[in-house]
Structure 1
Amino acid sequence: MIVELSHPIVEGMVTYPGVPGPVLGTHLSREDSRGVYAPGTEFHIGTITLAANTGTYLDTPHHRYDGGPDLSQVPLSSMADLPGIVVRATGARDREIVLDPDLDVRGKAVLVHTGWDRHFGTDAYFHGHPYLAPESARRLADRGAALVGIDSLNMDDTPPRGERPAHTVLLAAGIPLVEHLTGLAALPDEGFRFHAAPPMVAGMGTFPVRAYAVVP
């Protein structure tokens, strides 16, 4: 079974306050293509202008650190076909999510399920969201997590200041991050493979992904 874990990208959507929504366009319309190809043959070539932080996206170290590995330099083995585990935090009373210190995370994609994705596409999504506790981010880095994802607005608390401790620690350790996941409720706690590979764009640190899980 394949489980979809990404939000669709639609024109004008707002993923994060202040980041412009995507704009869809047309490079070659079907009508115009009829003058290019043989009779009965037509194509559509579309265009899209978007910020890298749109929809469900993956952060590489280059997003946080000048000179860090970018989208073209992070190996596929860090983003695709990873053994995954889901950490359930939907019933947490505090917005700060503290993970079990005994969790076995080495070499795994650790997906934090907060349930906040239910607000995606509404103004409520931008305020009071759950986030990963800084000490948990440090523990994930120390214990060799392969990737960390969350179904919330940000891995870190926002605003209140410009500090981003989870991004800082995890990306320094070379651990990719996936934010704005959805559908984690459909996954088992473990025993699945996680995939979230973006295109190989040199010089960029973040890009949307089609995140999904393969469940036996």
Structure 2
Amino acid sequence: MRIIDLSTPIDASVWEPNPIEHRVMSAAEGGAHMAEGMRRNHGLDFDPADLPGGELLSLDTMTLTTHTGTHVDAPSHYGSVAEYGEPRHIDRMPPDWFVRPGVVLDLTGEPVGAVGADRLAREFDRIGHTPAPMEIVLLHTGADRFSGTPKYFTDFTGLDGPATDLLLDLGVRVIGTDAFSLDAPFGHMIKAYQRTGDDRVLWPAHFAGRRREYCQIERLANLGSLPGPTGFTVSCLPVLIAGAGAGWARAVAMIED
């Protein structure tokens, strides 16, 4: 089996709209930390200098959102109320949603904004495949080339409401993108709303999740490395964070040799 990594890293050294704080406790500091904890919590004295090399283990502490790096959005991210009942958090979603045959749709070359259902239908015709129920649909926009820069959050293509509904009508329950969001860029949507007064242009892909239960994978990468539009399995199991609207994922494509 060949495995293609489809994930972007969580990296405190690059630009993010919500900056990451990454603190590293060295292995030597870890020894002192352990000794203090054993003394405080268990009444045991231990000299960390007795450790081989005077070191124990390093420890990383991070402050970040669950929407940093490659992650899966849960239905509860889309709003507190849904037409189908109480929206589920990420730890309540069934694991079998996230290991399924994949379909990649090529949207590279599309302008900043959102594509419609007609564009997806043309892509189905081009690849000779219409997504089947529970297949994971991935949108290859090429936006990951801007990852780590401000342009990643302003220059990409998303889906409009009818395009999202088309996929959900087909039985798709997980939709992924290599862009920052499955919707158009925030500024693009806000300007469209100010110009038209039509609130349907505001986060239509996300808000579709208030009517239909589904999950998104955002901030994927390397979708251009997939061998074809089909013929691979996607694994994007989210981290179980109790009561959270999203969970980080190490998304990969698995291809049988």
- TM-score, normalised relative to structure 1: 0.88
Contact 2:112–2:156 (Cα < 8 Å) also in 1: no
Q: Where in structure 2 are there 5+ consecutive unaligned residues?
A: 36-47, 81-85, 125-129, 191-198
Contact 2:102–2:231 (Cα < 8 Å) also in 1: yes
Alignment of 1:38-187 (within 5 A): 39-40=51-52, 42-66=56-80, 67-79=86-98, 81-92=99-110, 95-97=113-115, 98-100=119-121, 103-159=130-186, 160-161=189-190, 163-170=202-209, 172-187=211-226
Distance (whole Å) between structure 2 residues aligned to residue 203 and residue 122 of structure 1: 30
Query: Of 11, 22, 33, which residue of structure 1 is paired with 2:20?
Result: 22
Contact 1:105–1:145 (Cα < 8 Å) also in 2: yes
Contact 1:192–1:213 (Cα < 8 Å) also in 2: yes
Partner of 2:45: none
Contact 1:64–1:171 (Cα < 8 Å) also in 2: yes
2:30 is the counterpart of 1:33: yes
SS at match of 1:110: strand
The answer to which structure has the higher helix fraction is 2
Query: Of 175, 180, 190, which residue of structure 1 is paired with 2:230?
Result: 190
Distance (whole Å) between structure 2 residues aligned to residue 55 and residue 11 of structure 1: 11
* Counterpart residue identity of residue 219, structure 2: H
SS at match of 2:220: coil
Instruction: State the shift of 1:39 in Å.
Output: 2.6
Distance (whole Å) between structure 1 residues aligned to residue 247 and residue 171 of structure 2: 23
Deviation per residue, 1:50-98 (Å, 9 max, x gap): 112111111000101324110110111112x211000011133574333
When the two structures are aligned, how many residues end up with a matched partner?
211
CA distance change for structure 1 residues 114 and 33 in 2, over 3 Å: closer, same or farther? closer
Q: Where in structure 1 are there 5+ consecutive unaligned residues?
A: none
Distance (whole Å) between structure 1 residues aligned to residue 155 and residue 149 of structure 2: 13
CA distance change for structure 1 residues 54 and 47 in 2, over 3 Å: closer, same or farther? same
Root-mean-square deviation (CA), in Å? 2.1
Deviation per residue, 1:120-161 (Å, 9 max, x gap): 122222223211132110111111103100111211123223
Structure with max Cα Rg: 2
Contact 2:157–2:185 (Cα < 8 Å) also in 1: no
Contact 1:90–1:113 (Cα < 8 Å) also in 2: yes
Distance (whole Å) between structure 1 residues aligned to residue 247 and residue 14 of structure 2: 15
CA distance change for structure 1 residues 144 and 24 in 2, over 3 Å: closer, same or farther? same
Q: Which runs of 4+ in 1 moved over 6 A?
A: none
Partner of 1:3: 4
Distance (whole Å) between structure 1 residues aligned to residue 217 and residue 110 of structure 2: 21
Contact 1:137–1:170 (Cα < 8 Å) also in 2: no
